Amino acid sequence: MTNSVPMAEIWRGPFLESVHNGHAVVCDDSGQIVHAWGDPEAIILPRSSSKMIQALPLIRSGAADAHNLTTEQLALSCASHQGAAIHTDRVGKWLDYLELTDDAFRCGPQAPSDEDARNGLIRAFEKPCQIHNNCSGKHAGFLTLTKHLKSGPDYVDPAHPVQMACLDAFEDITGLTSPGYGIDGCSAPNYATTLHGMARAMATFAAAPEGSAEERLRSAMMLHPDLVAGEGRACTNLMRAMGGKVAVKTGAEAFFIAIIPEKKMGVALKIVDGTTRAAECAIAAILVKLGVLDAEHPETMKYLNAPIRNWLGVQTGTQRAAPPMI
């Protein structure tokens, strides 16, 4: 992944201590590049930043309407949630509606990131289940589509009709043939594309007309930022800071996307070294540059020009955008 540029910096006192390089692309609704940093044609795995693409077949197939899915369920289908009660309670009810149990999932058990939920399991001497997995909402969507298609239970198999539909949607909206896939943390295939392709896909979501699958998913994310991630998480914080007018979504290994309906623009970025803090800083910088995020908003300042403090609460440094991002 060559030709990357500095995107985020860590300063300790007067010294530049760390630099995080990356790539980013901003596209308009024609698919043209409006801004670019690094190599727009770098091949990437978007990881969980592609969840709204993986949810497209859920709506396009008619499964979402056949099963009367709510905006909350559509938001959860795009989520990387932290296993709080607001997430697992809703996914649990979704499973009950499908007349399925936790065993139907193929995402694997994961300890909740939410402190209350995690401590509750510990106090009850219980182990985490698959419903606690951050991807359980996406997998509930997969199970809904599986039931609608009357297909087999191994819905994460790349040859399964659900995953074939996801690949078709991915290649259609990115405008590119995927060079392949990697297996994600939740066991589903995650298809590769270019930064440009992913930004083009997000611009398509941004410009999609009312009632389309893309519009329904982006609107659900913006309506329920607490379900997309959770309290204290960058996706939730930044969507709230922008007043529900922009959808943002992180992915593992420092990927991030943004969908900006008012400007009909899409953003995709990747930090080369996989550091999440750098991706959060860089996406905040881009959103400020595009005029959709207030640089002085308290939530913005958790990621951009953010103070770094030691265990005594003394400020020892700052996380800031690198010069190419300003």
pLDDT reported for residue 320: 97
Residue 170 φ/ψ, nearest 5 degrees:
-65, -45
Residue matched to tokens 């939530």: 299
Q: What is the pLDDT of residues 300-320, one digit of tens each?
A: 999 999 999 999 999 999 999
- Residue ranges of domains in the chain: 26-272
pLDDT reported for residue 2: 78
The yes-or-no verdict on residue 119 having pLDDT over 90 is yes
| 295 CB burial (10 A radius; 0-12, 13-18, 19+) | middle
Residue matched to tokens 């979504």: 249
Arch. (CATH architecture) of 26-272: 3-Layer(aba) Sandwich (3.40)
The yes-or-no verdict on residue 187 having pLDDT over 90 is yes
Report the alpha-carbon distance of residue 203 to residue 257 in Å, rounded.
10
Q: What is the pLDDT of residues 27-64, one digit of tens each?
A: 999 999 999 999 999 999 999 999 999 999 999 999 99
Q: What is the pLDDT of residues 167-176, one digit of tens each?
A: 999 999 999 9
Calculate what percentage of the chain has a pLDDT beyond 90.
Answer: 99
R_g over Cα of the chain: 19
Residues 169 and 54: beta-carbon distance below 8 Å: yes
